Amino acid sequence: EAGVTQFPSHSVIEKGQTVTLRCDPISGHDNLYWYRRVMGKEIKFLLHFVKESKQDESGMPNNRFLAERTGGTYSTLKVQPAELEDSGVYFCASSQWRTQNYGYTFGSGTRLTVV
């Protein structure tokens, strides 16, 4: 079974530019989550999709961030325009079940550097 795939693995962009991160969840997993770890801080929840619907987007930092999951398959997270404080590692995770009884599977993350 293929795992959760994220790309790119690394991205370096200039302040003010746009970047789109992609996450391919495990096939059949309805639940998809985005998390972010800013340097030196804890991993923080951004949002949760159930299929194509946003179940919880309480962690999205501001309106420069836009997440989509068209057709309930892969998801994208766009940052526009990027700021220096957006640098960090963005993780995606997926699970078949909504509750945490079973844990979820994380991708390897995208390391975003804004210069």
List residues binding other proteins (CB under 8 A).
3-4, 31, 33, 35, 41-45, 48, 55-56, 59, 91, 93, 95, 98-101, 103-109
CB of 90: closest distance to other proteins in angstroms? 12
Structure tokens at 79: 């940052």
What letters, b where the CB count within 10 A reaches 16 and e where it falls short, cover 51-69?
Answer: eeeeeeeeebeeeebebeb
The CB-of-81 to other proteins minimum distance in angstroms stands at 27
- Which C-beta is closer to other proteins: that of 88 or that of 107? 107
Cα separations in angstroms, 7 against 30, 60, 89, 99, 102: 20, 20, 12, 26, 25
> What minimum distance in Å lies between the beta carbon of 37 and other proteins?
8
- Cα-based angle 17, 61, 23 (whole degrees, multiple of 5): 65
Give the number of residues written for the chain: 115
**14 or 27, CB closer to other proteins?**
27
Cβ distance to other proteins smaller for residue 35 or 86? 35
Closest approach of other proteins to the CB of residue 57, in Å: 11
